Each structure stands twice: as C-alpha cells, then as structure tokens.
C-alpha cells in the first residue's frame, strides 16, 4: 500500500468526516487482506468503519447498515462470483428502507475476458453508485467518498 | 456456629436449603407449598416447620437470602432494532438476568405491537436499538409509542447513547418509570449485556419483589436477591470459575428440566475448537441461558413427542402407539401427576431424553460447510461446547428419575453428526439436593462456602446403559 502525501486524498473532508461505512467481503469469498487494508485506511482517514470481514452474506451488510445508521456500504469481491452475490443488493436496500445509501463495489468483479467498461456498466445497472477495478488505491476510494458526500450535501445523488 | 438459610419462592413450592457455614455442609432441605397468590407467609411457615421437624430444632441463621420465580416469574418484553442484532442482544440480557421472556420485538413498533405488549402485562420492558452513533430514529419512534401506551411497568433504556438520555427523560415525563443504562450493543457486533443485567436485577429487587407480594414475608428473610434462574446462573458461574481460595471446574453446561420449560445454562467462551473454523454472527455471552418454553415435561409433553415424531418416540420409549397416546392424554388431564407404572417411568425417561437433546442442540452453536474458491470452509455460529468437560443435570426428572444417566446422556454430541458442537466427552453429574440456586444466592455473601455447597451436591453418574437404557440401535 502506498502512503499518499496529498492531504485531500487521504483524509475525509467536509461532509465526509465521521460518516459511517459498512464494509466486508461478500459471498463465499475468503480474500480478506485487501478489504482489511481498505478498512484500516478508511478508519485512519476519519471515517467510522464497521468491518464485517470475509464470507459475509449480502443480508448481513444490510442488517449492519440499519443498526449503525451507515451512510455507505463498500462491498469487496475478489473471487469472480461477485455478480451472483451482488444481484439484487440495491433492491434489498430499498426493501429495508435504505433507498438512499451510497453503494460501492470493488475487486475482481468478474472472471473471464470482459472489459472493465462492460463490468462497470453491469454493476452500475445493479444499482451500485460506483464500481472499482482491481488495483484501485485506497486514496482513490477516499477521494470518491469525499466527492460523493459533498455532492449529497448539495442535494445530488453522487458527484459526476 | 453460623448457618445460612437459602430460600426459593417457586411457582409450585417454597424451597429451603439450610447450610452450616462452619462445617460447610448441607444441614437439611425442606419445602412447603407456594402460596404467593394468597399470602406468601403461609407457604414459608409450612416450609420452616418442615425444616424444624427435620432438624429437631430451628437453628439461628446468619443469612436468610431468597430468590423467586413465584407469581409468574419476572415477565419481560424486549425491544430492539434488527432482529439478529440489538433485538438479540436485548433478549440475551433479559435471559441472563433470569427473566421469563414473554415477548420480543424488533424494528418499528406498530400500534398493534403496543397493544400486544399491553396485553402481555410485562413486569419490565428492556428498550434497545441502534449502536452508539448509529440508528436513533427507530428507538425514538418506539419510545414515543411506549410513552403514549397505557403501560405502567419500569422501562430499562439500553439503546444508542446519542438519544438514550432524552428517551429516559421523555418516558419519565410521560409517567413511565425509566431506568437509563449502557447500550446492549455499543458498537456493531459487540455484546455489552452486563450493565442491562445489573439494571434488571436492581429493578427486580426495588420494585418487582414488592409488586408481587413477596415482601409480605419480609420478616422471615433478609433480602430477595434475584430471580431464581439468575441464582442458578450465578451458581453455575461460581462452579465454573471457583473462588480466590479454590479452583472451579472450568467450562460447564447445566441442564434444568422442569414441568413447563427446559433451561440450559453454559459458562464457556465457546470459541471454535477446531483450527480453520470461521466464526460469524453475533458473539454469544460467556454466561448464556436459554429457555425452551415448548419443552416442559408436563405442560408440553405432547409437543416433545411431536418434535421427535410420534412413531419414533414410541419406539424410543418402548411403548405401543396406543399406550403412548393414552399416557399423553393422562398427562394433559393432570400435569402434576407423578409416574406410577413402569410405562409411566419409560415415558418420563423418553420425554426427559428428548427434552434434554432438543434443548442442548438449540443452545449449542452450529457449523456449516461453505464451498469457496479455496476449498471448503467451516463456518460456526454460536458457541462451540464440544470441549466442555462438566455437564450437570438439575431439576426433578433428572434428580429423582429412575435413570438420570440415560436422560443426561442426551447432551452428548451425536457421533453421526460431524458438525455438532455439543459436548463430546464430559463427566456427567446430578445436582442431587437441588442446591444450585442456593449456591448462587450464597455466593453473593460467602463464595467459598457457596462453592462447597454446590460441589457437595454433585453426584457423578455411572453408566446405567447396561441396566436400563434401550439398545441405541433401536432408538
């Protein structure tokens, strides 16, 4: 992990400060290391992080988000089955009263030769607000959170 | 010479245990009827007379402490947000405090929910919801509903600390006795039930004992310390942990079969015993109590039989289906009936076996195998009790049954089930004199004597299989 020296990219700023984020690895996926690094970076950046760990069913993300009044859910998936595990995720959020929650997904989201553009489109169509490809830096996630929470404070869904 | 008198105001009997604190031995056990519905002092008087008759005199007592499950026990309703999270934490807190849970609610209370709670007439309500800094809106909504209700019972507020104080104030302003305590789940996945347990016990001592008319007998004892199930749980804790002077028995499991419920208590962390097992779900309390309201030997005999399957149960009991049906009808007619014929004994043994088996399987955790890209992973939910080395049976059918060993063996892990988390090779004991509640009470004042009292009542049970138990093949 690289340590960014740009203050605006490794700290939560403005409306993003102290936001509660639920994160974990979805489905029958044991790859916890990347998600743990992300969780530590987010905590250090000034977010409240609820870490669910590996092998987390979709429903558990949602239950944790309800109880902790989370502002965003960040789903990791590394083993290529993410598309199956994440199916209906936004619908479940809507069903449980979390219509507005910010949803990110990241990792090795598909197996095979699909282009990133195509993969991203698939996940956005499922209702995720952003999808992140393999190799994403933690600072990039923090920047996106900063922008999106600022946009939400201004009454938009996410920053464009 | 100093003695202790340990009293249990039960729903059927007023039980007494007199213990010699110097010689550290049980002087006598005595009992009278439970008369809490009319005048509690009548049953207490009869029990004391029984004691004096057995001892030939009435000794002087240094301590006279009591617990109670009379007048319906400590009836509680718990409310949380997510069923598996704060609502579950609240449930665990109430059970651990020795309550009789009459209702559990989650998410937003509806008008119908509140009407249901009013009809349940709880003695105490435990209101939880939201982690600290988490959801506040739902618990505020629920508190408002409770404030507007006709309920008059104390409400213990153990929710998101952001709003807990305001909620306690507004409930008080609405005329509801509100008691503020720490959140049962301060952060996600962290169980913090001890403060709520303490608050429940305090409300029990301060208000419930009076409300139920138990303090009418106040001249005859020093204090009612806790509900009876809490006393049993304290006795279990003492046996497991020991005292500063004497080592305890470490992790243990206690099964208490009664006429209306089967209770299971475990004192164990229950972390995965096998390597590579992943634990998930809410952590469970080190002191865990479960109550199976559908597994009472008398009140739910038919339910127990149906749980097992009628035909299978008849085979296990060695009774014909016709006889089983007839015997069950007799029990329904008269729940206080004691076994008379050999068929009655066989039926009771099979009922006890099935009640213990079902209650312990529900109490212990579960595992499942999940296939991942890296091969199978075992996931554990709840407590792993496979390594527990001490199992104690208490309550009438186990203490006085013809073959307690066969019923208590139902706690053992089924060798055919590799995923079972029940004890594998524990030593089995019977609490012969039914003193666990008494030891729990005495532990509040003299823990070393209390431990001697509890240990003195434990009788290891021998293998009775060759004599009594049906061949396992046929069961």
- pLDDT above 50 for A13: yes
Per-residue pLDDT at B465: 46
Residue of B338 and B382 predicted with greater confidence: B382
- From the list A28, A54, A63, which residue is nearest B84 (CB)? A63
pLDDT confidence bin for B463, thresholds 50/70/90:
low
| Pick from B85, B278, B377: CB nearest A63 | B85
**What residues in B contact A60, CB-CB < 8 Å?**
280
Which of B81, B85, B373 lies nearest to residue A79, judging by beta carbons? Answer: B373
Strand, helix or coil at A25?
strand
Q: Which residue of B has its CA nearest to A20?
A: B134
Residue B475 clears pLDDT 90, i.e. is over it = no
Distance from CA of A75 to the nearest CA of B (A): 17
pLDDT at B109: 97
Cβ contact, residue pair A30, B374, below 8 Å: yes
The rounded percent of chain A whose pLDDT value lies above 70 is 94
B367: which chain A residues are within 8 Å (Cβ-Cβ)?
A: none
What is the average pLDDT score of chain B? 91
CB nearest to B82's CB, from A28, A50, A67: A67
Residue B247: what pLDDT? 95
Return the domain boundaries, chain A: 19-146
- Tell me, yes or no, if A29 is annotated catalytic: yes
As for the ipTM of the complex, it is 0.80
Q: Report long-range pairs for B309-317 (Cβ below 8 Å, ≥24 apart).
A: B313/B350, B313/B354, B315/B474, B315/B475, B316/B350, B316/B353, B316/B354, B316/B470, B316/B475, B317/B346, B317/B347, B317/B349, B317/B350
What is the mean pLDDT of the segment spanning A6-25? 86
| pLDDT tens digits, one per residue of B48-73 | 999 999 999 999 999 999 999 888 88
Distances (CA, A) of A6 to A3, A17, A149, B37, B40: 9, 17, 19, 74, 75
Q: Cα(B243)–Cα(B441) distance, rounded to whole angstroms?
A: 15
Are A69 and B135 in contact (CB < 8 Å)?
yes
Q: Distance of alpha carbon B11 from its chain centroid, rounded? A: 15
B81 touches A: beta carbon within 8 Å: yes
CB atoms within 10 A of CB B343: 17
Greater confidence (B9 vs B372) lies with B9
pTM summary value: 0.88
- Maximum CA pair distance of chain B? 74
Predicted local distance difference test score (pLDDT) of residue B278: 84
B287, β-bridge pairs: B267
Using CB atoms, pick whichever of A29, A48, A69 lies closest to residue B372: A29
Mean of pLDDT values over B397-407: 75
> Taking CB atoms and an 8 Å limit, are A67 and B374 in contact across chains?
no
- Asked whether the beta carbons of residue A55 and residue B379 sit closer than 8 angstroms, the reply is yes
What is the mean pLDDT of the segment spanning B112-118? 98
Calculate how close chain A gets to B279, using CA atoms only, in Å.
10
Average confidence (pLDDT) over B364-376? 84
Asked if B125 reaches chain A (Cβ–Cβ under 8 Å), the answer is: no
Quick check: B200 pLDDT over 50?
yes
For residue B461, pLDDT beyond 70: yes
> Which residues of chain A have a CB within 8 Å of the CB of B86?
67
SS (H, E, C) chain B: CCEEEEEEECCCEEEEEEEECCCCEEEEEEEEECCCCCCHHHHHHHHHHHHHHHHCCCCCCCEEEEEECCCCCCEEEEECCCCCCHHHHHHHHHHHCCCEEEEEECCCCCHHHHHHHHHHCCCEEEECCCCCCCCCHHHHHHHHHHHHCCCCCCEEECCCHHHHHHHHHHHHHCCCCEEECCCCCCCCCCCCCHHHHHHHHHHHHHHHHHHCCHHHHHHHCCEEEEEHHHHHHHHHHHHHHECCCCECCCCEEEEEECCCCEEEEEECCCCCCCCCEEEECCCCCCEEEEEECCCCCCCCHHHHHHHHCHHHHHHHHCCCHHHHHHHHHHHHHCCCCCCCCHHHHHHHHHHHHHHHHHHHHHHCCEEEEEEECCEEEEEEECCCCCCCCEEEEECHHHHHCCCHHHHHHHHCCCCCCCCCCCCCCCEEEEECCCCHHHHHHHCCCCHHHHHHHHHHHEEECCCCCCCCCCCHHHC
**Residue in A with minimal Cα distance to B372:** A28
Confidence of residue A9 (pLDDT cuts 50, 70, 90): low
CB contact under 8 A, A67 and B278: no
Give per-residue pLDDT as tens, B152-173: 999 999 999 999 999 999 999 9
Q: How confident is the model at residue B179 (pLDDT cuts 50, 70, 90)?
A: very high
- Identify whether A31 is a catalytic site residue: yes
Where residue A53 falls (left for φ over 0; alpha for ψ -120 to 50; beta otherwise) is left
* Burial status of residue B188 (CB atoms within 10 A of its CB: 0-12, 13-18, 19 or more): buried
**B131, A68: Cβ pair inside 8 Å?**
yes
3-state secondary structure of A104: strand
Q: Which of B82, B272, B283 to mutate to test the interface with A (most CBs of A within 10 A)?
A: B82
Angle, helices B86-96/B194-203, rounded to nearest 10 degrees = 50
Q: Which of A29, A85, A129, A148 is catalytic?
A: A29
Give me the pLDDT at residue B430, please. Answer: 93
pLDDT at B211 over 90: no
pLDDT at A134 over 50: yes
Residue A109: exposure state from Cβ atoms within 10 A (0-12, 13-18, ≥19): buried
Closest to B175 (Cα-Cα) out of B199, B147, B203? B147
Residue A7: pLDDT over 60: no
Cβ pair B82:A63 closer than 8 A: yes
Structural domains in chain B?
3-67+215-221 (3.30.420.40), 75-207 (3.40.50.360), 237-474 (no CATH)
Note the maximum CA span of chain A.
Answer: 41
The reply to whether residue B134 touches residue A68, judged by beta carbons under 8 angstroms, is yes
Please name the residue that has the structure tokens 């920047």.
A143
Give dist(CA B469, CA A70) in Å, integer. Answer: 56
Neighbours of A6 (CB within 10 A): 9
CATH of A19-146 among 3.40.50.1980, 3.30.465.10, 3.90.320.10, 3.40.50.280: 3.40.50.280
Chain A nearest C-alpha distance from B283 (Å): 13
């Amino acid at each position: 992990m690289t340590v960014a020296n740009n203050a605006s990219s490794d700290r939560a700023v403005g409306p993003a400060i102290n936001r509660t984020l639920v994160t974990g690895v979805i489905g029958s996926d044991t790859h916890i290391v990347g998600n743990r690094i992300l969780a530590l970076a987010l905590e250090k950046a000034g977010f409240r992080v609820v870490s669910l760990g590996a092998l987390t069913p979709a429903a558990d993300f949602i239950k944790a988000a309800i109880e902790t009044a989370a502002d965003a859910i960040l789903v990791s998936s590394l083993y290529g089955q993410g598309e199956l595990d994440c199916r209906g995720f936004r619908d479940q959020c809507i069903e449980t009263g979390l219509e507005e929650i910010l949803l990110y997904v990241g990792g090795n989201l598909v197996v095979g030769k699909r282009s990133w553009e195509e993969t991203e489109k698939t996940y956005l169509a499922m209702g995720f607000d952003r999808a992140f490809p393999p190799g994403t830096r933690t600072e990039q996630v923090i920047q996106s959170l900063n922008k999106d929470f600022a946009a939400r404070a201004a009454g938009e869904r996410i920053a464009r | 010479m100093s003695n202790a008198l340990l009293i249990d105001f039960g729903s059927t009997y007023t039980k007494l245990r007199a213990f010699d604190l110097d010689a550290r031995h049980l002087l006598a056990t005595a009992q009278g009827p439970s008369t809490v519905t009319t005048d509690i002092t009548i049953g207490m008087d009869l029990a004391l007379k029984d004691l004096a008759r057995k001892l030939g005199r009435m000794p002087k007592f240094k301590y006279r402490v009591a617990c109670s499950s009379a007048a319906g026990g400590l009836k509680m309703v718990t409310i949380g947000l997510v069923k598996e999270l704060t609502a579950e934490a609240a449930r665990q807190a109430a059970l651990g405090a020795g309550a009789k849970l009459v209702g559990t609610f989650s998410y937003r209370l509806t008008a119908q929910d509140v009407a249901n709670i009013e009809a349940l007439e709880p003695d105490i309500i435990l209101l939880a919801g939201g982690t600290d800094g988490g959801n506040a809106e739902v618990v505020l909504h629920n508190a408002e509903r409770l404030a507007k209700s006709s309920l008059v019972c104390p409400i213990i507020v153990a929710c998101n600390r952001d709003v807990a104080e305001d909620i306690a104030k507004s409930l008080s302003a609405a005329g509801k006795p509100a008691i503020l305590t720490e959140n049962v789940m301060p952060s996600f996945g962290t169980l913090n039930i001890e403060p709520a347990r303490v608050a429940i016990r305090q409300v029990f001592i301060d208000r419930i004992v009076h409300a139920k008319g138990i303090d009418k007998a106040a001249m005859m004892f020093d204090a009612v310390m806790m509900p009876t199930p809490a006393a049993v749980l304290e006795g279990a804790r003492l046996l497991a942990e020991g005292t500063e002077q004497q080592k305890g028995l470490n992790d243990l499991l206690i099964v208490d079969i009664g006429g209306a419920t089967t209770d299971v208590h475990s004192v164990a962390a229950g972390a995965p015993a096998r390597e590579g097992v992943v634990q998930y779900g809410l952590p469970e309390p080190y002191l865990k109590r479960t109550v199976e309201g559908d597994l009472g030997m008398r009140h739910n005999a038919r339910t127990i039989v149906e749980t097992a399957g009628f035909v299978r149960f008849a085979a296990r009991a060695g009774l014909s289906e016709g006889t089983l049906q007839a015997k069950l009808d007799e029990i329904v007619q008269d729940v206080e009936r004691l076994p008379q014929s050999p068929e009655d004994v066989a039926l009771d043994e099979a009922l006890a076996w099935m009640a213990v088996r079902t209650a312990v399987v529900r109490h212990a955790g579960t595992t499942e195998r999940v296939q991942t890209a890296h091969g199978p992973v075992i996931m554990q939910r709840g407590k792993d009790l496979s390594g527990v080395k001490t199992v104690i049976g208490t309550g009438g059918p186990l203490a006085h049954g013809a073959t307690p060993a066969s019923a208590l063996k139902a706690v053992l892990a089924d060798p055919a089930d590799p995923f079972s988390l029940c004890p594998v090779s524990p030593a089995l004991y019977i609490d012969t004199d039914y003193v666990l509640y008494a030891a729990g009470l005495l532990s509040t004042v003299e823990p070393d004597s209390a431990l001697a009292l509890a240990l003195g009542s434990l009788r290891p049970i021998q293998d009775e299989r060759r004599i009594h138990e049906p061949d396992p093949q046929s069961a």
